[in-house]
Amino acid sequence: MTDSTPTLHEYEYKAEMKQLLHLIIHSLYTHPEVFLRELISNASDALNKVRFLQLSDSAVLEPDAPLRIAIDIDKEAHTFSITDSGIGMTKDDLIDRIGTVASSGTLEFVSSIKAGNAPLDGDLIGRFGVGFYSAFMVADEVTIETRHADPGSQGYRWKSVGEGRFTIEEIDLEHRGTRISFTLKEDAKEFSEDWRVRGIIKKYSNFVDFPILIAEEQVNTVTALWHRASDAVTEEERNEFYTFLSNDPDPPLGHLHLHIEGRYNFNALLFIPRTAPPRLYDLAERRSLHLYASKVFIQDDCRELAPEYLSFITGVIDSEDLPLNVSREVTQASPVLAKINEVVTSRVLGLLDEWSKSEPEKYATFFSAFGSLLKMGATSDFTNRERILELLRFETTKTEAGTRASFRDYVSRMQAEQKDIYYLVGEHRDLLERSPNLEYFRKNDLEVLLLSDPVDVFSIPAIFEFDSKRLVSIEKADLNIPADAETPAAGADDTDTAPLLAFIKEQLGDAVEDVVASKRLVDSAATLVAGKKGMDAQMERVMKLMDKEYSGSKRILELNLAHPLIRNLARLHASGADEALVKDCVQQIYQGASLIENTLDAPADFVRRMTEIMERATR
């Protein structure tokens, strides 16, 4: 193990590491106090690792050493040090883990700051795990002295003045673990003041699982809040704990404190956040569930504890039924975790149901943030499908913009002879409201769900039905609606529109699947609907985005035979007077319908023809 040349070795940081350090030292000044949270969090990780090693019966240096974090400060000399009895580091660890940017998140962080589109906020450090290097916000030179918990290990001293290089030398160390020390910069002297350091620990690290000592006195509250009776935990304590777990600046929207006893036993303190992370579907952004076995930390991002569609919940779950030395592989297959998952799912859905009934505003806040995840649940969790469907909310033609109704509300407003639930999918509400396809439904007072959440395009067809009523896109050609008595397909006069229809079909040729008389139009002259095997316009757009090769399926052009334009055209066509104008109008009608549904791919053509027609009309 021992290096035969116990001299000082000098190393150079990798390029991206230099950039990162440069940024930390020169830009990230807004919350320098977070350096303490980062160092304590690393110490706590190191302590968890050594405890884990001991549980898995490996031989460990100083097996009886107390697991703790000690902070030493000297306000005269402005020095700071943090010492842990954790796993320590080998020489390779010092080179590979301290000298290199490990996570892709960190690189992303560096580039987003360089691009200038991220605020220079100390909180970013926590989110991207810049971790240890935040020490360079408060010190010019940092020293690490460390010895790995392996009984045959050697001690090392790592030193760096930041940007360029670091050195490593062998030293004699009696104890396992790590000590990180530095002299504070002029403008960071406050971090050698006792009251200041205590304050920061209370703020960020109060719930760290190991004692944090200053001058031999414990500063943090090492209690497993989740083991206390629910009414013995104050809201303030709970919110503090949430902040500690999630780094979310807002308090949670709600919580669940569970004490489950029976065939399986566990305690849990779970939170539902108020706002969603910027990228809801990005796994890396997910808040997480921490797994404990009899108060011993096992892992901090346990995916087995809740289904993916509830991945917004964060918190702690602690079970006595798990062996302490469970590994990730074991937890994945554990029937205990499967059972916990089942109970957690049911309880969270129960809480949401309660909110939806007695606290609708709170529920609306929740749904705005996480509703799209719940929709995923409706098609992936068959056991709870019915419960989830009751929880879904949608804007409709009968709700104000921004407010939502449930399927249940919709069904209660259905007309006596109405069999299906109607919907229209598109990019946003304004666009949907302008769709000519809604005209028939408006006129007949039939409610239509207006769906503009990006997941709707897949989730709504997959949900398929609610309360035995089919979900039907009003863009589908085979829509089964009774013809409107007041808008007869044939007009009041005896104009024959059949030859015009045939002519339009011939003119448009391959561009459309068919040209037919419409039952759904009231004010507009024409609209496009999905062909017999086709999809919604929105679905088509998504397919084209996902698959560059996808050329799209053909649409059907529906014409409002009662519309004056169509009737005029039919007469003009029959007279054979100005065929060029009829042809231009046919193209305009078709492209205008494409424009309305946001699929027009030749706007210049459209405008040129329109200009010519206007020119003729104004002659």
Q: How far is the CB of 137 from ligand ADP (least distance, A)?
A: 13
Which span sits near ligand ADP by CB under 6 A: 81-89, 346-354, 526-534, 597-605? 81-89
Which span sits near ligand ADP by CB under 6 A: 129-137, 202-210, 348-356, 450-458? 129-137
Q: Where are the beta strands (DSSP E) in 75-125?
A: 79-84
Number of residues that bind ligand ADP (CB under 6 A): 18
Per CB under 6 A, the list member of 97, 202, 279, 470 interacting with ligand ADP is 97
Phi first, then psi: give them for residue 435, nearest 5 degrees.
-65, 130
Which residue in the block uniquely carries the two structure tokens 């030293």? 171
Q: How far is the CB of 84 from ligand ADP (least distance, A)?
A: 5
Q: How far is the CB of 329 from ligand ADP (least distance, A)?
A: 21
End-to-end CA distance of the chain: 97
Q: Is 178 in the site for ligand ADP (CB under 6 A)?
A: yes
Task: Show the site string, 535-574: x = touches ligand ADP by CB under 6 A, - = not.
Answer: ----------------------------------------
Cα distance between residue 440 and residue 518, in whole Å: 10
Q: How far is the CB of 45 from ligand ADP (least distance, A)?
A: 6
What is the torsion angle, in degrees rounded to the nearest 10, for the CA atoms of residue 292, residue 296, residue 300 and residue 304?
-30
Q: Is 454 in the site for ligand ADP (CB under 6 A)?
A: no
Contact status, residue 352 vs residue 366, Cβ threshold 8 Å: yes
Long-range contacts of range 90-95, CB-CB < 8 Å, 24 or more positions apart?
A: 90/148, 90/150, 90/153, 90/156, 91/3, 91/154, 91/156, 91/168, 93/148, 94/144, 94/146, 94/156, 94/158, 94/168, 95/11, 95/168
Nearer to ligand ADP, 148 or 255 (CB): 148
Residue among 121, 130, 122 at smallest CA distance from 101:
130
Contact status, residue 456 vs residue 510, Cβ threshold 8 Å: no
Q: Closest-CB residue for ligand ADP?
A: 131
Strand ranges of the sheet holding 266-272, from the earlier edge strand across to the other edge: 254-260, 266-272, 314-319, 289-293, 296-299
Nearer to ligand ADP, 43 or 53 (CB): 43
Q: Which token pair is 419? A: 């069999």
Q: Which token pair is 120? A: 């220079």
Q: How far is the CB of 105 from ligand ADP (least distance, A)?
A: 9
Per CB under 6 A, the list member of 98, 270, 302, 457 interacting with ligand ADP is 98
Element at 396 (helix H, strand E): strand 393-396
Per CB under 6 A, the list member of 86, 126, 307, 426 interacting with ligand ADP is 86
Cα distance between residue 476 and residue 464, in whole Å: 14
Nearer to ligand ADP, 98 or 569 (CB): 98
Q: Is 132 in the site for ligand ADP (CB under 6 A)?
A: yes
Q: How far is the CB of 531 from ligand ADP (least distance, A)?
A: 53
Residue among 17, 182, 195, 204 at smallest CA distance from 126:
204
Task: Show the site string, 1-40: x = touches ligand ADP by CB under 6 A, - = not.
Answer: -------------------------------------x--
Nearer to ligand ADP, 133 or 242 (CB): 133
Residue 500 Cα to chain centre, angstroms: 52
Which span sits near ligand ADP by CB under 6 A: 126-134, 208-216, 242-250, 503-511? 126-134
Query: Amino acid letter at 391?
Result: L
Q: Is 87 in the site for ligand ADP (CB under 6 A)?
A: yes
What radius of gyration do the chain's Cα atoms show? 33
Contact status, residue 2 vs residue 172, Cβ threshold 8 Å: no
Q: Is 102 in the site for ligand ADP (CB under 6 A)?
A: yes
Cα distance between residue 301 and residue 287, in whole Å: 8
Which span sits near ligand ADP by CB under 6 A: 84-92, 400-408, 422-430, 437-445? 84-92
Nearer to ligand ADP, 133 or 210 (CB): 133
Nearer to ligand ADP, 129 or 531 (CB): 129
**Binders of ligand ADP in range 253-292 (CB under 6 A):** none
Nearer to ligand ADP, 178 or 588 (CB): 178
Phi first, then psi: give them for residue 43, nearest 5 degrees.
-65, -40
Q: How far is the CB of 81 from ligand ADP (least distance, A)?
A: 12
Q: Which token pair is 215? A: 């001058």
Which span sits near ligand ADP by CB under 6 A: 88-96, 259-267, 531-539, 586-594? 88-96
Q: How far is the CB of 99 from ligand ADP (least distance, A)?
A: 10
Cα distance between residue 374 and residue 393, in whole Å: 10
Q: Is 155 in the site for ligand ADP (CB under 6 A)?
A: no
Cα distance between residue 298 and residue 399, in whole Å: 47
What is the torsion angle, in degrees rounded to the nearest 10, for the CA atoms of residue 506, residue 509, residue 514 and residue 515?
-40
Q: How many alpha carbons fall within 13 Å on the CB side of residue 602?
A: 9
Nearer to ligand ADP, 180 or 528 (CB): 180
Q: Is 129 in the site for ligand ADP (CB under 6 A)?
A: yes
Task: Show the site string, 33-72: x = touches ligand ADP by CB under 6 A, - = not.
Answer: -----x---xx--x--------------------------
Q: Which residues bind ligand ADP (CB under 6 A)?
A: 38, 42-43, 46, 84, 86-89, 93, 97-98, 102, 129, 131-133, 178
